[in-house]
Amino acid sequence: MSSLPVEAPPAPPAAPAAVPSGRRRGAWVLVLLVLLGVLAVLSVAFGARPVSPAEIWAGLTGPADGFGPASVAQRIPRTALALLAGAALAVSGAVMQGVTRNPLADPGILGVNTGAALAVVVGIAHFGLRSPGGFVWVAIGGGAAAAAVVYAIASLGPNGFNAAAATPLKLALSGAAVTAALTSFISAVVLGRNDIAEGVRSWQIGGVGGADFGTMGVVLPFLAAGLAVGLLSAKSLNSLALGDELAAGLGERVGLVRGLASLGAIVLAGAVTALTGPIGFVGLVVPHVVRLLVGSDHRWLLPLSALGGAALLTAADILGRVASRPVEIDVGIVTALVGAPFFIYIVRRHKVREL
């Protein structure tokens, strides 16, 4: 006599992903602060030219007489710029990823950095732009224009413009196409201008070697404003992660939040590009790593991304200085070598789905 079939019990529901505790998050803040301190010391102590402890002390405390102390003295503003630029680019990338719910969002991938670079080059070549403050304004305008073009192209669907059509893959492909076009425009502008060609080509690579505190002082208010806007948008970005309809149901003005947060991200990326040239992948790599450490709460993600971005760019600058002494490798090349494989990894792992 055959037994009656017994229905298998339903599988238990999957356990929700563990949310990192406040203690764990605080521990990571402490770890990153200590790491930043160590990297800042290493950045001053190591460079393309080896220096002795006595020369390091002389460069920090006294007149920079001699090659060794002078080299150390030049590394101090360079280190400060690497910290500022890395923090700004990482926060910019984290905000862009939150606004678009796109794991591939980054100021470089979405064309913002290249748009800012083109605007600065045009300003130098055709309008005689020379002041750091002018560089920042035109860089922010160029970055905003490039971001608008990328978003518009990605939003084009079979029935015309549709914001829902701007999938992560289409945004990434549109950004790559616009970046390639803008890079060609930069070459066309510089072609035949031997008076600016060498400087522009070097600046396009992205580096922090020409840092000075005077120029950083001009740009610092823009970085502070962009960072403030990004941090103040953190709670609203958490709501956007739930979807536009639910965010609106929670009282968020979705269009206003998305516009203001995007503006803060563009200001950060444009201001950094005006100082350093276009540096890619910092805003892509750092937020993803920080999410693994502290979760997706933007109230923690943004400040820790700032610390992580500062650490990454400072470490990349140190590596570029010591890897092939006495020749320096610009930090933009080092971040590309790190970021390009990471970009491929994210595409394969996430299959370019939304965050």
- Tell me, what's the pLDDT at 169? 77
**pLDDT band at residue 76 under the 50/70/90 scheme:** very high
Q: What integer is the mean pLDDT of 272-276? A: 94
d(CA 114, CA 270): 9
- Tell me, what's the pLDDT at 195? 82
Please report whether residue 276 resides in a domain. yes
d(CA 240, CA 253): 10
Please report whether residue 31 resides in a domain. no
* Beta bridge pairs of residue 161: 156
Please report whether residue 8 resides in a domain. no
Kindly write down the DSSP assignment for every residue of 56-101, as one continuous string: HHHHHHS---SHHHHHHHHHHHHHHHHHHHHHHHHHHHHHHHHHHT
Answer whether residue 354 shows pLDDT above 50. Answer: no
Q: Residues 128-176: pLDDT tens digits?
A: 888 888 999 999 999 999 999 998 998 887 776 776 667 777 888 899 9
d(CA 307, CA 310): 5
With a pLDDT cut of 90, the percent of the chain lying above it is 57
Q: Residues 42-68: pLDDT tens digits?
A: 999 988 888 888 888 888 887 767 778
Number of domains in the chain: 1
d(CA 347, CA 153): 20
d(CA 277, CA 215): 14
Residue 157: what are its φ and ψ, rounded to 5°? -120, -170
Answer whether residue 6 shows pLDDT above 60. Answer: no
- Tell me, what's the pLDDT at 194? 83
Please report whether residue 284 resides in a domain. yes
Range of the domain at 137: 82-350
Q: Residues 198-234: pLDDT tens digits?
A: 888 888 889 998 889 999 999 999 999 999 999 999 9
Please report whether residue 45 resides in a domain. no
Is the pTM of the predicted complex or chain greater than 0.75? yes
Q: What integer is the mean pLDDT of 248-269? A: 93
- Tell me, what's the pLDDT at 59? 80
What value, to the nearest 5°, has the Cα angle with vertex 276 and ends 345 and 148? 65
CATH number at residue 247: 1.10.3470.10
Judge whether 124 and 196 are in contact, CB under 8 Å.
yes
Please report whether residue 22 resides in a domain. no
Please report whether residue 252 resides in a domain. yes
Please report whether residue 239 resides in a domain. yes
